[in-house]
Amino acid sequence: MSDKTLHIDLVAADRAVWSGDAKMVIAKTVEGEIGLLAGHEPMLAILSEGEVRITLPTGESIKASANGGFLSVENDVVTIVARHAELS
């Protein structure tokens, strides 16, 4: 895996949940689960209810539940906006 990182912003409708750099993020969309690494093409996806897994540069993992909303990727910045989200 590359040394490049993504910047992740995970927000709920009413507050910021988590923000920071990561090696990878996996989220559940209405079309299935998607894994994102640095260098991913720009995209927009609709979230479904499920777990968001964030792998930090140290190898540690952060898990959050998210329900509804969307995920966008552009220039190694992943923004996940959910109606409801909280760290597990």
Residue ranges covered by each domain of the chain: 6-87
Count other C-beta atoms under 10 Å from residue 60's C-beta. 9
Mean pLDDT, rounded, of the chain: 96
Residue 78: which of 4, 23, 6, 24 has the closest Cα? Answer: 6
Which CATH superfamily groups domain 6-87?
A: F0F1 ATP synthase delta/epsilon subunit, N-terminal (2.60.15.10)
Q: For residue range 31-71, what is the model confidence (pLDDT) as tens digits?
A: 999 999 999 999 999 999 999 999 999 999 999 999 999 99
Return the pLDDT at 2.
60
Read off the tokens for 11.
């927000």
Q: Which amino acid appears at position 36 of this protein? A: L
pTM summary value: 0.93
